[in-house]
């Protein structure tokens, strides 16, 4: 998925020595998180996006990361929210992921994704849209309910989603391995979309052409 959406050939991960920095504070790590960090999380392309993936070395840098009840793995680019795994869930192979608002001491964590694997897929898809080489003239568009039905009927809904990130519920649609449309429901409907290749973008626009009002 990373190779296709980010247009990279080789994935890079963190060494066991780097992961030991996190284990020093959290003991065990979920199998899914450890595999992601080992195999792909140091790939440069996934860090050139909208929000900030937490890196293992950050846990030695910031006290609030290592002292909390959640292992934080992602922070919104302006610090508006953060996503993390409950410390008591770290022994699970594929635990749920929660999201909290901007204040570091805010304990109002709500469920963002039922599994870490689903969260990773959804966030990688969401963040990729901001880095796509091919996209609409504007970044985001308003959608009507009727236009949403066009998206649903013309594209394949992906088996992952996000709840509560920036106060929105997100669903994902595509019709090629390197394109993606993200529908965001915050009371109103918004969409952003694009592709890593020109061919993928043209295929996506067979459905998306003319939909939405630029925000």
> What is the rounded average pLDDT of the residues 101-106?
60
Rounded CA-CA distance 24/84 in Å is 17
- Of the pLDDT bands very low, low, confident and very high (cuts 50, 70, 90), residue 79 is confident
Residue with more model confidence, 108 or 184: 184
**Paired strand residues for 189:** 143, 185
Q: What is the pLDDT of residues 5-45, one digit of tens each?
A: 999 999 999 999 999 999 999 989 999 999 999 999 999 99
Round the average pLDDT of the chain to a whole number and report it: 95
- Of the pLDDT bands very low, low, confident and very high (cuts 50, 70, 90), residue 67 is confident
Q: Could you tell me which CATH number the domain at 2-120 has?
A: 3.40.1580.10
Task: Flag whether pLDDT at 107 surpasses 60.
Answer: yes
Q: What is the DSSP letter of 159?
A: E
Stretch(es) of the chain classified as CATH 3.40.1580.10 = 2-120
Task: Flag whether pLDDT at 105 surpasses 90.
Answer: no
Q: Phi and psi dihedrals of 168, rounded to 5?
A: -120, 150
Q: Do residues 14 and 37 lie in contact, with contact meaning Cβ atoms separated by under 8 Å?
A: yes
Q: Could you tell me which CATH number the domain at 132-214 has?
A: 3.30.160
Q: What is the pLDDT of residues 142-199, one digit of tens each?
A: 999 999 999 999 999 999 999 999 889 999 999 999 999 999 999 899 999 999 999 9
pLDDT of residue 6: 96
Rounded CA-CA distance 21/191 in Å is 38
| Angle between the N-to-C axes of helices 31-39 and 16-26, in degrees from 0 to 180, rounded to the nearest 10 | 150
Residue with more model confidence, 102 or 118: 118
Stretch(es) of the chain classified as CATH 3.30.160 = 132-214
Q: Do residues 90 and 19 lie in contact, with contact meaning Cβ atoms separated by under 8 Å?
A: no
CB atoms within 10 A of CB 24: 11
Q: Do residues 5 and 196 lie in contact, with contact meaning Cβ atoms separated by under 8 Å?
A: yes
């Amino acid at each position: 998925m990373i190779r296709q959406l980010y247009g990279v050939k080789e994935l890079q991960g963190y060494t066991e020595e780097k992961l030991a920095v996190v284990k020093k504070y959290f003991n065990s790590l979920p199998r899914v998180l450890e595999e992601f960090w080992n195999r792909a999380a140091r790939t440069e392309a996934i860090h050139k996006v909208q929000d900030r993936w937490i890196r293992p070395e950050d846990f030695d840098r910031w006290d609030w990361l290592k002292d909390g009840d959640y292992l934080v793995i992602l922070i919104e680019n302006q610090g508006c929210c953060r996503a993390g795994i409950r410390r008591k869930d770290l022994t699970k192979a594929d635990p749920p992921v929660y999201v909290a608002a901007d204040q570091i001491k805010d304990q109002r964590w709500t469920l963002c994704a039922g599994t870490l694997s689903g969260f990773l897929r959804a966030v990688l898809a969401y963040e990729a849209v901001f880095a796509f080489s091919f996209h609409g003239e504007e970044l985001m568009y308003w959608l009507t309910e009727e236009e949403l039905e066009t998206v649903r009927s013309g594209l394949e809904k992906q088996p992952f989603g996000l709840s509560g990130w920036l106060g929105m519920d997100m669903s994902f649609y595509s019709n090629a391995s390197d394109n993606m449309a993200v529908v965001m429901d915050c009371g109103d409907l918004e969409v952003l979309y694009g592709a890593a290749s020109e061919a993928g973008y043209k295929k996506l626009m067979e459905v998306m052409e003319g939909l939405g009002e630029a925000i």
